[in-house]
Amino acid sequence: MSESESTKPSKINPRFRYEVAKMPGGEKLLQCFQCGTCTSDCPIARFNEKYRPRNIIHMAQIGLKNKILDSEFLWLCASCFTCTDRCPQGVEVASVIRILKNMAAEEGHIPKLFRELLSNLLKTGYVYEVPESRIRRRESLGLPPLPKGDSESILKTIQELKIARILNSE
């Protein structure tokens, strides 16, 4: 979608900024004055020219809800909180991005990779499935076996979350 197309009035949800601002961590969204400090200090923006936290905040402010929630770039955030520490306006940028990810997940927009990680976690208690070769290598080095992942208690913890229902329905 081109920039001009995505900013057509019909694509804008004027209430979106208030939806984000009422969530814990989103309160200062409207105080962003677009200085760009968050982008200039973001380690992901350094390596990916499409990832710009300043733009994400701007899109949230002007109400480009669908464009943000459908995006893949949202999920590039590493949640390092550098942006939050550096913002001169006290905008909790990392928290705003977490809110946006949660909203995207609630609408079922979860990139394949993250679905796989969650599904591994629920199956094995580990985010990454540990390959047999790695287990044998540990044994050959005389290392103790890895602790068994507690997938049952993880499942119990998240079963009331919408994400669990989304994954179960697939």
Calpha distance 120→129 (Å, rounded): 6
| Binding of residue 38 to ligand SF4 (CB under 6 A) | yes
Which one of residues 5, 13, 22, 79 is an interface residue with ligand SF4 (CB under 6 A)?
79
- Look at residues 29, 9, 5 and name the one whose alpha carbon lies nearest to residue 103: 29
Binding mask 100-139 for ligand SF4 (x = CB under 6 A): ----------------------------------------
Q: Is 37 in the site for ligand SF4 (CB under 6 A)?
A: yes
When asked if residue 72 is in the footprint of ligand SF4 (CB under 6 A), the reply is: no
Contact status: 53 vs ligand SF4 (CB under 6 A): yes
- Establish if 78 lies at the interface with ligand SF4 (CB under 6 A): yes
Helix pair 112-124, 151-158: axis angle to 10 deg: 120
Answer yes or no whether residue 83 interacts with ligand SF4 by CB under 6 A: yes
* C-alpha separations of 149 from 1, 117, 118, 137, 145 in Å: 42, 14, 13, 19, 12
CB of 23 to ligand SF4, least distance (A): 16
CA dihedral 83, 92, 15, 115 (to 10 degrees): 70
Q: How many CB atoms lie within 10 A of CB 136?
A: 10
Q: Which residue's CB is nearer to ligand SF4, number 85 or number 139?
A: 85
